Structure 1
Amino acid sequence: MTEAVAMTDDDVRRIDAYWRAANYLSVGQIYLLDNPLLREPLRPGHIKPRLLGHWGTSPGLNFCYAHLNRAIRTRDLDMIYIMGPGHGGPAAVANAWLEGTYSEVYPQVSQDAAGMARLFRQFSFPGGIPSHVAPETPGSIHEGGELGYSLAHAYGAAFDNPGLVVACIVGDGEAETGPLAASWHSNKFLDPVTDGAVLPILHLNGYKIANPAVLARIPEEELVQLFDGYGYRPVLVSGDDPASMHRKMAVALDQALQEIASIQAAARDGRASGGDPDRRRWPMIILRSPKGWTGPKEVDGLPVEGTWRSHQVPLAGVRENPEHLAQLEKWLRSYRPDELFDDQGRPVEGLRALAPAGERRMSANPHANGGLLLRPLTLPDFRDYAAEVGKPGTTLTEPTRRLGAFLRDVVRANPSDFRIMGADETASNRLGDVFEATDRVFEGERYPTDEHQGAHGRVMEVLSEHLCQGWLEGYLLTGRHGVFTSYEAFIHIVDAMFNQHAKWLKVTRALPWRRPIASLNYLLSSHVWRQDHNGFTHQDPGFLDVVLNKKPEIVRVYLPPDANTLLSVGDHCLRSRDYVNVVVAGKQPALNWLPMDAAIAHCARGIGIWEWASTDGGADPDVVLACAGDIPTLETLAAVDLLRQLFPELRVRVVNVVDLMRLQPDREHPHGLPDRDFDALFTTDKPVIFAFHGYPYLVHRLTYRRAGHHNLHVRGYKEEGTTTTPFDMVMLNDLDRFHLVMDVIDRVPSLGGRVAHIRQRMSDRRLELRRHTREHGEDAPEIRDWTWPY
């Protein structure tokens, strides 16, 4: 265990030089188009025409980075760095370049004057890199464009990484968000034996874009009490004098890292001897420094450093205003670049020596490029969990319960790189078999009445979808695998987080040095059509619409109609890379349609004719009944049963869709069907009645380019719902079997005028069945107990 070593005056001078170099590079990225080393007086032509970027948080981020590098070298730490203030992109890029990683990844941005010029030019410049800490930045797993997720990502990275320390800088503006406020509780889920450590550094610089930051303005005693209540032991560092602050930060870091090492050593020794040590208070650092530190004190007579005016570009009119230009040059020269860079523009040897070596550099740590560490899951044969299917549609299975048995054995086979995240819904979603293999993780106080709660486990439950998503993203981005299970309606809570992750994946696909990571897998159950005891608030299938806004090469949506198709889809998703997979599946007892071999073939196709349910005899149909989703499939086949009885001469084709992306043309999505195949399935001139799990508009959106789109009539969820029976729910939204028959009657001209009486019977039957639900509180036996009769 490495003891703290006091900084000498020489140590202070060297670390300050590194900090000055990072600050210089940060300012240069915001302002300079040319003359990167100020080898000549600064002229307007050296300045970018559009000044973009964020200065205010960058010096604090550089300050932390320099000190963390010292700690890495002193203690030989395996550490990654998460910058919550994503606006601090200049700082992340500056440090990656100083460490040499940037030039290794992007050889054209060499570690010399020419490379520095390219580094500056590309920042927030057309054809260059974003202003945030982005996928293009080596060492980053956190985009930071949207605030609130840094600490959840940090803990996700630390789970099952016992040798890793994750330093997470939390901005004081970011700390006001709901997700970040919940993230402080992640320490109740961190096992000091099998997990790594997270060192939160709350950076208080006082302001957001224009307003004071809440945590920076409350009394220090209250601030300490707040984090003490969260279960941390705060270490405070504050001031504005660089020399004094360097010494304070070094002491604070040494103290915090020593505490982390002690907590882990005691816990691991206790586990080895059979003990169960009490949960410890993990350290955190509260760093208070001026916003825009070391930048202009005043501009045009107004205070800048330490105020909101330093947030973005402190000197805005540099090209047009000679006074601002002179002030910028003075600011840049205050870092004494001639002492920091040699004649070729390389960091001087003393600076290069301050960076850790090889993969110990935070910008080169393989945990920040998780695909380098990713290993395939050891998966059991999903066919071993198959539901027995004799005749289609005559036996019942809870689909997610079958999947739960499969996931139980995935957990057993992968004890250190697979986790299941969910908002207190694992058992509710019928995945309870996983508790035969693992506990829920919980490091808080445990009672004898608790079930399946332990210090270490594969299931993580907390009533915050933001935390579940953030933990899983951090876990995946550092090279592991997982599933996020949720009630369908409430996955909307993480719409924005999904957006950010999908954008990350889209960008990384164009970066050869970023290796593919395991896909982000959503399992959505307790879905819109089966909320018997919840109601309208729990009914929303619209996450599918959000997902399909993203780039086609990133997203996949699966609607398996029964247990065996769910198993096939689940196995496929766990093997995939660099996707977001959304699987919607019911948890209630449901009819089994396909034996396993047929289910595998159907899932491989993604869409197909169910010949055993169709009556077209392989010829041209009179009508196509399509379905996607378990309840729409049930109602479609029940409608086919009615049509067989009512119109035995009618040629009906049943098409089931598992992979929703098959509806798109192949020119728009990698899974899309070519037009000729789509037309062969659906025809170009026959009516298509489509029973869909979600909002009807989505099917129209996916198929609007198809030749037969004008024949397509979609039934789905239309914002009608309550706490009611399953069949009343589909009747409320006109998705029931009787309404589907009425749709066929209305759209098949060959049926002629004889259908008026039948149509009225269908409408009357709906009214009778609705009355039954209101009188008896359950669906009529003919509905509840219906099975496929053929």
Structure 2
Amino acid sequence: MPHAAHQERDRTTPTVLTDEELRALDAHWRAANYLAAGQIYLLANPLLTEPLAVEHIKPRLLGHWGTSPGLNLVHTHLNRVIRARGLNALAVWGPGHGGPAVLANSWLEGSYSETYPDVSRDAEGMARLFRQFSFPGGVPSHVAPETPGSIHEGGELGYSLAHAYGAALDNPDLLVACVIGDGEAETGPLAGSWHANKFLDPVHDGAVLPILHLNGYKIANPAVLARLPEPELDELLRGYGHEPIHVTGDDPFPIHRALAEAFDLALDRITRFQRAAREERGTERPRWPVIVLRTPKGWTGPAWVDGEPVAGTWRSHQVPLAGLRDNPEHLRQLEGWLRSYRPEELFDAEGRPTADVLACVPEGARRLGSTPHANGGLLTRELPLPSCDRFAVPVDKPGASLHEPTRVLGGYVEQVMRDTAPRRDFRLVGPDETASNRLDSVFAASGKAWQAQTIQVDEHLDRHGRVMEVLSEHLCQGWLEGYLLTGRHGLFSCYEAFVHIVDSMVNQHIKWLRTSRELTWRAPIPSLNYLLTSHVWRQDHNGFSHQDPGFVDHVLNKSPEVVRVYLPPDANTLLSVTEHVLSTRDYVNVVVAGKQPCFDWLSMEQARAHCARGVGVWEWAGSGDGDREPDVVLACAGDVPTQEVLAASDLLRRQLPELAVRVVNVVDMARLMPHGDHPHGMPDSEYDGLFTTDKPVIFAYHGYPWLIHRLAYRRTGHANLHVRGYREMGTTTTPFDMVVRNDLDRYRLVMDVIDRVPGLGVRAAVVRQRMADARARHHSWIREHGTDLPEVADWTWTG
């Protein structure tokens, strides 16, 4: 029998549903179950107005039934409390493979038909709803961008709770209900997400109500949390800082009573906590409620098929009845199953839902499929971005001064934090690295969000802070995605090597953006912006474990409409790039910049022009007559490669003054691609003008060298392209030794020029020998002194 947990009651009067209310709730739930099953199976005959026949069945049966009845139950009861309490709510469906349930409820409430008028709320529209599901030219089986009311795809498990908390941040009037499947609950990201309640500010943020749905099984195995004894599960959830409310059973009407009581109990507690913080200025961290809902997997579906138990077991996970075209008994069972919902009571003769079915459904934007929070671009406001000129470093002469680029950027981000303080729609997230990444000036504008215990030595912790730090890249990513998808802005700062932890998450977000761009009803949302620093070339004390520049490769493999990668070479170009990416919509922008002292190459005016081009000749950095065709092109992308190229150019000027050298710097990596492959790509004529068609190009690149070859392999001069980059030769060593180990150093670049410019090998043999000797001298020096050669450590640009 269903029950609620035996905690002290918050309500003075228990929830009492009349028989009429119970019947209406059950009618809505049955209707949603019917529509969910119909989407999996039916091609025609949506109201079963004639006996079910083979021609009414889809040729391929796809979808997930097992989780759908539980999701439908939660949706039904969310409708009740939203309507009764006038709530603004958003639902995040962790078991996103339960797409049939979410689509069914969106159609029932009318949101789906308003979004897609051809799928009308009648028999004809019901037939389209059924046919399109997991069908060529139709909609996916998972909750997806096409699904009204969704911000969470759910095909890849583990991220629902992080998304829910991200949506609740700075949304004080929003309730975010998050259904967590028991399979999803076993993932690492979800386990980490339970700690998000230590960062939720009950004054300025909304509330998250987790609903842990334990139906017992995953695809083929029992679920861990479902097999824990209730007291042990309670200890786990209380340890996470939640107070569990249990609802268990398989009898619909008692379940409806118990779940209604559980929702009212949970929402009363949330209201009490928010009132204590907002009106009574309470500072105690709330023990937020969590509903633990136990119902059978595949509930209300076939109990037995071919002598094997199905409902309540893993066999109901996807399609309980298969082979319908060849198995008359299965077809008969399917018809009995569908008719058990009594569709004639739920829909009128035209296929419209009856009044009982719609009695609990909210109206207008309060419907879960119509909330503007699930179409966050509708709520987005432009960021009040300050001018970069206020924060630019003075550059009267290239290479005459040094700054830490991210420290300079920190002043800019601090001002963004200040300017968004009244409206609270910008967050900086990162895994415990804000100060390490030289962005700590932001703490003058906002502290770090924190609701747990504080002690005297703590710094910058703030119950109302908008800097989010937790040592979980998954949680940082999930928070920011939820925040952006609901219409706000942000920046994710991370060590370059460890952003790979969210490779799969960014995959899903890129797919979401690509699909949502094709939906005219989805408004563009603020871009997902990464600042990757503490990068591969300056991990002086951390070493090999912290050296991996491959996130750029990962992202540039994805949809070109969505992805952008920038490698600003100094502080002012970093300011310009950041100003740009923070103003964009529907992109994933990756910015890679160092935090160590770096030469200042360009003034702010020059930086803006250079970043707008994305790639350009640095005429002042080359040699020879500017009107003369170059003998060789030295190209660079990234701050350390740029320094090594300029040092190589300096050596060539002095050692081989007759050589015409062109220096090309790349900020926007996509510019190297053909225009047909990426919107930022260069036409062949422009590329050939910069890099030539027949001269050697020595390219010093921040990351793995083969990426440059992949981006430029179809260019006319690709055979002349020689790329130096990171080759997994990492260790704890001096900064210059890192580039030497990977053959990216200035001396190797000069040797490459001598080796590849026709006729230079013999004429410049002595120069090449000097370069090789310098590398040998370097190896001896660092082993004796532990520091780089003075000629390297003290080098400055003298051009």
TM-score of the pair, normalised by structure 1 = 0.99
CA shift for structure 1 position 4: 6.0
The correspondence of residues 36-435 of structure 1 with structure 2, limited to 5 A, is 36-271=46-281, 276-415=282-421, 416-435=424-443
Worse-superposed segment, 742-751 or 57-66: 742-751
- Paired position in structure 1 for 2:471: 463
Look up the SS of the partner of 1:203 in the other structure.
strand
Q: Please tell me whether the aligned partners of residues 81 and 87 of structure 2 are also in contact (alpha carbons under 8 angstroms).
A: yes
How far off its partner does 1:756 sit? 2.0
**Structure 2 CA distance, aligned partners of 1:57 and 1:233?**
24
Shift of 1:240: 0.4
Cα distance in 1 for residues equivalent to 2:236 and 2:483: 28
Q: Which amino acid is the alignment partner of residue 376 of structure 1?
A: E
Give the aligned partner of residue 635 of structure 1: 644
CA distance in 2 between partners of 1:344 and 1:481 (Å): 45
The 1-side partners of 2:604 and 2:323 are apart by 69
The corresponding residue for 2:794 is 785
How far has the Cα of 1:755 moved from its partner? 2.0
- CA distances 1:71-122 after superposition (whole Å, capped 9, x unpaired): 0011000001111001100001000000001000001101110100000000
Deviation at 1:754, TM superposition (A): 2.5
Q: Distance in 2 between matches of 1:662 and 1:172?
A: 45
Residue of structure 2 aligned with 1:525, choices 520, 526, 533: 533
Say whether the 8 Å CA contact 2:631–2:695 is kept in structure 1: yes
Residue 3 (structure 2) aligns with? none
State the Cα distance separating 1:298 from its structure 2 match.
Answer: 0.3
Per the alignment, in what secondary structure is the counterpart of residue 699 of structure 1?
helix
Give the Cα–Cα distance (whole angstroms) in 2 for the partners of residues 560 and 516 of structure 1.
26
Alignment partners' CA distance in 2, 1:6 and 1:537: 59
Q: CA deviation at 1:270?
A: 2.8
Paired residue total: 786
Partner Cα distance (2:449, 2:254) in 1 = 42
> How far does residue 627 in structure 1 lie from its aligned partner after superposition?
0.1
Q: Secondary structure at the match of 1:544?
A: helix
Q: Note the C-alpha offset of 1:350.
A: 2.5
Letter in 1 for 2:588: V
1:763 is displaced (CA, Å) by 1.0
Given candidates 548, 559, 572, the residue that maps to 1:540 is: 548
Question: Who is 1:751 aligned against?
Answer: 760
2:382–2:583 contact (8 Å) kept in structure 1: yes
Say whether residues 1:607 and 2:615 are aligned partners: yes
CA distance, structure 1, for counterparts of residue 519 and residue 659 of structure 2:
55
User: Residues of 2 paired with 1:618 and 1:248: CA distance?
Assistant: 83
Where does residue 583 of structure 2 map in the other structure?
A: 575
Partner Cα distance (2:410, 2:136) in 1: 49
The separation in 2 between residues aligned to 1:568 and 1:344, in whole angstroms, is 59
Report the residue type matching 2:57 in the other structure: I
How far does residue 777 in structure 1 lie from its aligned partner after superposition? 1.0
In structure 2, what is the Cα distance between the partners aligned to 1:120 and 1:441? 46
- Does the 8 Å CA contact 2:27/2:356 hold for their aligned counterparts? no
Residue 481 (structure 1) aligns with: 489
Q: Does 2:653 correspond to 1:644?
A: yes
Change (3 A) 1:461 1:752: closer
Report what 2:6 is aligned to: none
Please identify runs of 4+ aligned residues in structure 1 that moved more than 3 A: 1-5
Give the AA of the match of 1:171. G
Q: Is the 8 A contact 1:394 1:788 kept in 2?
A: yes
Q: Secondary structure at the match of 1:466?
A: helix
Deviation at 1:752, TM superposition (A): 4.6
Return the alpha-carbon distance in structure 1 between the equivalents of residues 632 and 718 of structure 2: 14
Indicate whether 1:709 and 2:718 are aligned. Answer: yes
SS at match of 1:257: helix
* Preserved contact between residue 719 and residue 733 of structure 1 (Cα < 8 Å): yes
Partner SS, residue 749 of structure 1:
coil
* Amino acid in the other structure paired with 2:376: G
The residue type paired with residue 509 of structure 2 is H
Deviation by residue 1:222-257 (Cα, 9 ceiling, x = unmatched): 000000000000000001000110000000000000
Could you say what secondary structure the match of 1:216 adopts?
helix
Tell me the SS of whatever aligns to 2:64: coil
Query: Does the alignment pair 1:658 with 2:700?
Result: no
Letter in 1 for 2:102: A
Work out whether residues 185 and 230 of structure 1, in 8 Å CA contact, stay in contact via their aligned partners in 2: yes
Structure 1 residues without counterparts, runs of 5 or longer:
none
Contact 2:476 2:492 in 1 (8 A): yes
Q: Give the whole-Å Cα distance in 2 for the aligned partners of 1:618 and 1:471.
A: 53
| CA distance in structure 2 between the partners assigned to 1:750 and 1:564 by the alignment | 39
Residue 621 of structure 2 aligns to a residue whose secondary structure is coil
2:14 and 2:385 mapped to 1: Cα distance?
A: 45
Q: Which amino acid aligns with 1:255?
A: L
Q: Deviations over 1:257-307 (max 9, x none)?
A: 000000000100133xxxx52101000100000000000000001000100
1:441 aligns with 2:449: yes
Q: How far apart, CA to CA, are the structure 1 residues paired with 2:215 and 2:513?
A: 32
Give the whole-Å Cα distance in 2 for the aligned partners of 1:748 and 1:262.
76
Mapped to 2, the partners of 1:209 and 1:184 lie a distance apart of: 24
Asked if the contact 1:370–1:517 (Cα under 8 Å) also holds between the matched residues in 2, the reply is: yes
Q: SS of the residue aligned with 1:87? A: coil
What's the CA shift for 1:5? 3.8
Q: Note if contact 2:539-2:547 (Cα within 8 Å) is conserved in structure 1.
A: yes
Q: Which residue of structure 2 lines up, in the alignment, with residue 738 of structure 1?
A: 747
Alpha-carbon distance, 1:757 to partner: 2.2
SS at structure 1 position matched to 2:538:
coil
Percent identity reads 69
Cα distance in 2 for residues equivalent to 1:196 and 1:752: 69
Q: Evaluate the alpha carbon distance shift between residue 199 and residue 752 of structure 1 in structure 2; reply closer, same or farther with a 3 A threshold.
A: closer
Q: Are the equivalent residues in 2 in contact too, given 1:559–1:629 (CA < 8 A)?
A: yes
User: Does structure 1 residue 677 correspond to structure 2 residue 686?
Assistant: yes
Distance 1:234 1:752 in 2: 76
Contact 1:488 1:541 in 2 (8 A): yes
1:588 alignment partner in structure 2: 596
Aligned equivalents of 1:483, 1:618: Cα separation in 2? 43
For 1:433 and 1:785, the matched residues in 2 are separated by 29
Is 1:557 paired with 2:565? yes
TM-aligned CA deviation for residue 774 of structure 1: 1.3
Q: Which residue number corresponds to residue 725 of structure 1? A: 734
Assess if the C-alpha contact under 8 Å between 1:270 and 1:277 holds in 2: no
TM-score (norm 2): 0.98
